[in-house]
Amino acid sequence: MIKIVILGAGNVAKHLYTAFCNNKSAEVVQCYNRKGLQLSSDQKENTIIKDLSSIKEADIYILAVSDDAISEVSALLPFRNRLVVHTSGSVPMDTIDNAHRKGVFYPLQTFSKDKSVDFSKVPFCLEAVNTSDLKILKNLASTLSEKTYDISSEQRNILHVSAVFVNNFTNYLFSVGNDICKEHKIPFEILHPLILETAEKATKINPDLAQTGPAIRNDSETIKRHSKIVTNPLQQEIYLTLTKAIQSKYGKKL
């Protein structure tokens, strides 16, 4: 049984807590956050602390805190030479205080408050200073998912940039599409099958081979009509910028 302490009370902390509570190979012995908040409605109060001086001994301490807080919180931990890991996609492993054995336990997924996560499909990017600690992290990650990867801090930062493009930026574009539909009183749900097909296609074939639309066809008349429909200046700028980017990549001209 791998004993875990989770530090933090955000979405990642809550989802990891739920996942480990349903895990027969791991046990969350304690959770810490400054306000003493529950990570789950059925969490026992005696497993929550808001004072680090009463932190329990565990095999792994998971810092599921904001990127800016990793250095500060790790420096406040009242022990030395225990395995302390963070869950950030972009923060270097060395940000953890030198008093500890350092590692990274990064689940590459988007986490929302009210949306459950199937961790069996989540890739875990792992890193540790020494091989024995990396083995511990692999053992822990494998209790949740079959997809574990040895990823350096540099590689993880590159992955995080890519993740911003495929997740954060695309979700913003979904919101723009929703706004345009709402403005013209069209149900956004009509686009749901297209969104799902686009995402699934990107996992089946090279995205370069899946590119369609007026930009790659160099359909200038359609592009002009679209730019008139999109009256919001920022949305229009985004439309034209992405059109130019697609045409530049695939050798088309406006």
Taking residues 117-146, what's their average pLDDT?
96
Is 160:183 a contact under the CB 8 Å cutoff?
A: no
- Pair 116, 178 in one domain: no
> What CATH number is attached to the domain comprising 24?
3.40.50.720
Residues above pLDDT 70, as percent of the chain:
99
Q: Which of 93, 41, 43 is nearest to 70 (CA)?
A: 93
Query: Which is more confident, 173 or 24?
Result: 173
- Pair 191, 174 in one domain: yes
Q: What is the pTM of this model?
A: 0.88
Domain membership flag for residue 59: yes
- Pair 184, 120 in one domain: no
Is 81:69 a contact under the CB 8 Å cutoff?
A: no
Instruction: Report the chain's mean pLDDT, rounded to a whole number.
Output: 94
**Whole-angstrom Cα distance, residue 246 to residue 240?**
10
> What CATH number is attached to the domain comprising 195?
1.10.1040.20
- Pair 110, 160 in one domain: no
- Pair 18, 74 in one domain: yes
Given 151, 184, 217, which residue is the final one in a domain? 151
- Pair 21, 70 in one domain: yes
Say how many domains are in the chain: 2
- Pair 173, 142 in one domain: no
Q: With a cut of 70, say whether residue 253 has pLDDT above it.
A: no
Q: List the domain range (segments joined by +) for residue 192.
A: 156-249
**Whole-angstrom Cα distance, residue 103 to residue 93?**
6
pLDDT digits (tens, 9 = 90+) for 165-190: 999 999 999 999 999 999 999 999 99
Please list, in sequence order, all residues whose beta carbon lies within 8 angstroms of the beta carbon of residue 165, skipping any fewer than 6 positions away.
none
Given 151, 178, 193, which residue is the final one in a domain? 151
For residue 254, the model assigns a pLDDT of: 47
Given 135, 151, 167, which residue is the final one in a domain? 151
- Pair 131, 161 in one domain: no
- Pair 225, 168 in one domain: yes
Domain membership flag for residue 8: yes
- Pair 32, 48 in one domain: yes
- Pair 144, 20 in one domain: yes
Q: Which of 5-14, 68-77, 107-116, 151-160 has the lowest mean pLDDT?
A: 107-116
Domain membership flag for residue 52: yes
Domain membership flag for residue 254: no
Please list, in sequence order, all residues whose beta carbon lies within 8 angstroms of the beta carbon of residue 216, skipping any fewer than 6 positions away.
246, 247, 250, 252
Q: Which of 81-85, 114-118, 140-144 has the lowest mean pLDDT?
A: 114-118
pLDDT digits (tens, 9 = 90+) for 138-157: 999 999 999 999 999 999 99
